[in-house]
Chain A
Amino acid sequence: MKLRFLAAALAATVAMPFGAANATDLEVTHWWTSGGEAAAVAELAKAFDATGNKWVDGAIAGSGGTARPIMISRITGGDPMGATQFNHGRQAEELVQAGLMRDLTDLAEREHWKDIIKPASLLDSCTIEGKIYCAPVNIHSWQWLWLSNAAFKKAGVPVPKNWDEFVAAAPALEKAGIIPLALGGQPWQSSGAFDVLIVAIAGKDVFEQVFAKKDEAVAAGPEIAKVFKAADDARRMSKGSNVQDWNQATNLVITGKAGGQIMGDWAQGEFQVAGQKAGEDYTCLPGLGVNEVIATGGDAFYFPLIEDEEKSKAQEALASTLLKPETQVAFNLKKGSLPVRGDVDLATANDCMRKGLDILAKGNVIQWTDQLLSPDSQKQKEDLFSEFFANPSMTPEDAQKRFAEIIAAAD
């Protein structure tokens, strides 16, 4: 405590000159730094500046894994920013419990967030002990298989319509010198791909039993064994994609060097930047073409508790701006994600986004693992799957045993 106080005192002396200059400057930290992402953030900044405040951009390069420790240490170290991005879910849970984050319940009630935010699970993720602590901004879903039409043409096989056809087409792709499945080396990618396979192969109920109820018996059972078999296929198919970042892997698909990639809807931005058209140059299969279900992961903004009247007002203005229909449309079109309210019209959305919106409208949604598991369990899962996908000698049975142990220990 004493250390924290000292850090706060030090930070206060540093921050003072800025505070005096313009009280309604609000620093917002996030990790949206790629081309499409930066354009989307600019929309948020524009909308916020229009309220008479000033958005001070605090982009942190790298990925969420790099940015989150920096954000958290600033908040716990007594140098909070005005607002910060986290993913939907439990990443900020302890910060809230420690009383470091601002309670937005009043604002939420005044603006009827309960009625406008769809699906409701997004607001549930923001709610801790009955109070609302964050403003969701978008929905990102992981359940997509992106396929290169050119690669399948070269291999002389039709573009698959689901996962099984894709697996069946793998030998033809390999014969044509194409890597069937692009998979980057970063641990979160293999772990995420596996979670997608669970929903697609074993279905929504099994997914919920494993991750929401943490049922160890199901995790060790025959349904998940099937998923591990599919993951074994995926491992064989991804051999040779020696890339690290997800967008490098997406680039293999764009250039036709790889047949497909399991990746979230943010991959769409890369296809757009490359000037490719959905349906013509690439194909997207939600739920891997098997179970058309999408998970409601994504991003939300949290507001650290600041004892400064002006800044608190600015925080409130920002939270309210983020959920305005106009902001939602402008931001999500650029970001390639889905809006968090059901009553806005994305007239210019492309094919793949429309598919996503349809599924969302039908209510075929699940909560994503970020919402259901603690970052600790997520990391253990990442360790397991990055090992599994890189090491062909690890059997699916061994991996499943370890998976069940992680689920058993999860809280």
Chain B
Amino acid sequence: MTAQTRGSARPNQWLRNLNAKIASIPMILTAVVIFVGGTAWTVLYSFTNSKLLPRLSFVGFDQYERLWEAPRWIVSIQNLAVFGFFSLIFSLVIGFVLAALMDQKIRFENTFRTIMLYPFALSFIVTGLVWQWLLNPQYGIQSIMRSLGWEGFSFDPLYNSDIVIYGILIAALWQGTGLVMCLMLAGLRGIDEDIWKAARVDGISMWKTYVLIIIPMMRGVFITTLVIIASGIVKVYDLVVAQTSGGPGIASEVPAKYVYDYMFLAQNLGQGFAASTMMLVTVAIIIVPWAYLEFGGGRKRG
């Protein structure tokens, strides 16, 4: 009895839900040792001149200086910015519009949903190859249009340095919007029917209801979707490898490919680590303020 009364003070905080805490120890260890530990290790070695094998001989910021002087890295960053901006906007907009259309109690909804989600079941490599063929001027869209009579029709984004990144964007959207649509649809289904009825009674038009009432109510879904899309953007790699392998020239290079190429092909771990650390910093710059607002601010509101 006495032990129990004493237990109701401070230590209880730690011992509450003991089973759950024990069960989560492996995951906590994984997170700390593998994710945090691995990250710290990578950052540490990015300040060394490690070549094929990691070596602790520090060279200060040399790797970072070289990184930011490399034209290929700059091109990679620009490509990532363009790709990220458009794929974020388009996949959210297209995904939401598709979901809203799907939510109109249409017939064969299951069929349509399956069709839309189908591309997501393919790996990026397959998507990349399919779109490489479609966008190939000799076999793909261009040749079909020409054979239909539009002789002057020209559409070969993958062979044009200036627009190649949009060719990759098309494939990424084709693959990704289905998932966004499903997430949005789930969000829409979570909205209480009464809200719609109330809006209708008040005579608010449909699109206004969506924009002013439904979307703000779907904040959680939007944030989840945003995180999923954003993480996909930063690590885009296989799509580029399958479609263009960075070409023509270096016009469609992306940061993840730079990291791989320098770590394994160029046998320069230091340079690869520096590049991956920069990727981490980029993500942190975006995620940290957002997480602070979202979770820090959220508690105050709640």
Name A residues whose Cβ lies closer than 8 Å to a Cβ of B: 65, 68-69, 72, 76, 91, 93-95, 98, 185-187, 242, 244, 374-376, 378-380, 383, 386-391, 402, 409
Contacts and interface: CB of A to CB of B under 8 A. Distances in A.
Interface in B18-57: 51-53
Interface in B53-76: 53, 66, 70-72
Contacts of B265: 65, 68-69, 375, 379
Contacts, number: 74
A361 B269 CA distance: 41
Nearest to A385: B249
B251 interface: yes
B271 interface: yes
B267 interface: yes
Interface string B261-285: 1101111100100000000000000
Contacts of B51: 94, 374, 376
Contacts of B262: 376, 379
A386 B267 contact: no
A68 B250 CA distance: 22
B296 interface: no
A374 B70 CA distance: 17
Q: Which of B159, B250, B268, B271 has the most CB of A within 10 A?
A: B250
B257 to A, nearest CB: 11
B95 to A, nearest CB: 33
Nearest to B73: A383
A375 B266 contact: yes
B159 A242 contact: yes
Contacts of A68: 264-265
B187 interface: no
A76 B52 CA distance: 10
A395 to B, nearest CB: 14
A91 B70 CA distance: 23
Contact of A376 (B71, B246, B267): B267
Given A76-B53, A379-B261, A379-B262, A387 B245 contact: no
B248 interface: yes
B224 interface: no
Given A390-B247, A390-B248, A383 B72 contact: yes
B161 interface: yes
Given A72-B52, A379-B261, A391 B245 contact: no
A402 B159 contact: no
A291 B118 CA distance: 58
5 contacts: A185-B247, A378-B266, A379-B268, A383-B71, A383-B72
A387 B250 CA distance: 5
B53 A94 contact: yes
A376 B268 contact: yes
Contacts of A409: 66
Nearest to A93: B52
A177 B251 CA distance: 27
B251 A391 contact: yes
A375 B72 CA distance: 17
Closest 7 CB pairs of A and B: A390-B249, A379-B266, A69-B264, A94-B52, A390-B248, A376-B268, A387-B249
Contacts of A185: 245, 247-248
Given A72-B52, A94-B51, A379-B268, 16 more contacts: A76-B53, A94-B53, A185-B248, A187-B246, A242-B137, A242-B159, A376-B266, A376-B271, A383-B71, A383-B72, A383-B250, A386-B247, A386-B250, A387-B71, A391-B248, A402-B71
Contacts of A402: 71
Contacts of B137: 242
A253 to B, nearest CB: 18
Contacts of B52: 72, 76, 93-95
Given A76-B53, A383-B70, A402-B71, A374 B249 contact: no
Contacts of A380: 70, 266
A7 to B, nearest CB: 14
A166 B234 CA distance: 46
Nearest to B251: A390
Contacts of B251: 390-391
A391 B249 contact: yes
Contacts of B245: 185-186, 244
Nearest to B66: A409
Contacts of A93: 52
Contacts of A386: 246-247, 249-250
A320 to B, nearest CB: 28
Contacts of B264: 68-69, 72
A68 B267 CA distance: 10
A79 B134 CA distance: 41
Interface string B209-232: 000000000000000000000000
A386 B245 CA distance: 12
Contacts of B268: 375-376, 379
Nearest to A97: B53
B120 to A, nearest CB: 27
A133 to B, nearest CB: 15
Contacts of A376: 51, 262, 266-268, 271
A391 B248 CA distance: 8
Nearest to A64: B265
A93 B51 CA distance: 10
A376 B66 CA distance: 12
Contacts of A388: 249
A389 B249 contact: yes
A387 B137 CA distance: 22
Given A244-B245, A390-B247, A375 B267 contact: yes
Contacts of A244: 245, 247
A262 B53 CA distance: 34
B11 to A, nearest CB: 35
Contacts of A76: 52-53
Contacts of A374: 51, 267
Interface in B235-267: 245-251, 261-262, 264-267
A388 B89 CA distance: 33
Contacts of A242: 137, 159
